[in-house]
Structure 1
Amino acid sequence: MNFETGTTTSTEASTAELPLSNAVRPAEALQLVRAAAADESLIVAVGVDFFQQMNGKFYPLNSNAYNALSVVAVA
């Protein structure tokens, strides 16, 4: 994000859909190749979206009340 010009560039990565259960899962690692230029700030956020599966397809829930997003790093 360049605060002087107001321009932004984004990069994202995600896992496959994971079942909601009490089972312990191995850690997930996501790789992003994005470096901030000297005049840019780098903001890293992690989010969780919930979907429901119907007829083999995943659909986002109508309510976003359970989705979460958090800024985890600023450089």
Structure 2
Amino acid sequence: MVKVIQADLISDRGLRNVIDGEAELLFGFEFNIRGKLGTSLFASYLATIDCAAGEIKIDLVSFIPANMISAPCGTTHFKIISGGAEVDFETENFVVSSSETAILPWDNTATAAINQVNTLSPASLKPLFLAVGVEFYQEINGQMYPLKKGAYNPLSLAFDNSMLILVFMII
């Protein structure tokens, strides 16, 4: 964030802000140093934004989890998560929407296509953020347990080719 704020060449020192900075520098930001999305999820995904409708979407084509997700030892299941945020940096207010798949088996069976829509305010002029991540689980005696209390769950900022969509997600 320091680099983003320092990129503000308009505001006086001490008054620099994210809006006049370079929020694009946040693309690819990894929220978890022990679990990075870029080294965990290899399935192709497309992030899109429809400002008029206020929809931030993530679409993954069908994939084989054991081939396209590098999971920590002990993983039996996973889920794909995403979240959208509309952030007003001036008033420090935000709107958040999140989506997740059901808990899916981490095996050699192809998933269905995954389409998640996070709905925010239509026609917003505020910066929009998109978070994409994976949660890992272990099944024991029919019960699902978060693997290592989420220590290896990757979460990263993503964007589409037409507009910056930063990632923001509460786990």
Q: TM-score, normalised by structure 2?
A: 0.38
The separation in 2 between residues aligned to 1:4 and 1:71, in whole angstroms, is 21
What's the counterpart of residue 72 of structure 1?
158
Q: Following TM superposition, by how much is the alpha carbon of 1:63 offset from its aligned partner in structure 2, in angstroms?
A: 4.9
Q: Which moved more, 1:57-66 or 1:41-50?
A: 57-66
Q: Following TM superposition, by how much is the alpha carbon of 1:65 offset from its aligned partner in structure 2, in angstroms?
A: 4.1
What's the counterpart of residue 54 of structure 1?
140
Structure with the higher helix share, 1 or 2:
2
**Between Structure 1 and Structure 2, how many residues are aligned?**
74
Q: Which moved more, 1:24-33 or 1:45-54?
A: 24-33
Which residues of structure 2 form unaligned runs of 5+?
A: 1-86, 160-164, 167-171
SS in 2 for 1:62: helix
The separation in 1 between residues aligned to 2:95 and 2:145, in whole angstroms, is 27
Select the residue among 53, 74, 90 that pairs with 1:4.
Answer: 90
Structure 1 residue identity aligned to 2:102: A
For 1:12-39, what per-residue CA distance to the aligned partner results, in whole angstroms no more than 9, with x for missing partners?
111100001133323211122223622x
Which residues of structure 1 form unaligned runs of 5+?
A: none
The separation in 2 between residues aligned to 1:57 and 1:5, in whole angstroms, is 43
Percent identity between the two aligned chains: 35
The separation in 2 between residues aligned to 1:55 and 1:29, in whole angstroms, is 30
- The runs of at least 4 aligned residues of structure 1 exceeding 3 Å deviation read none
Structure with the higher strand share, 1 or 2:
2
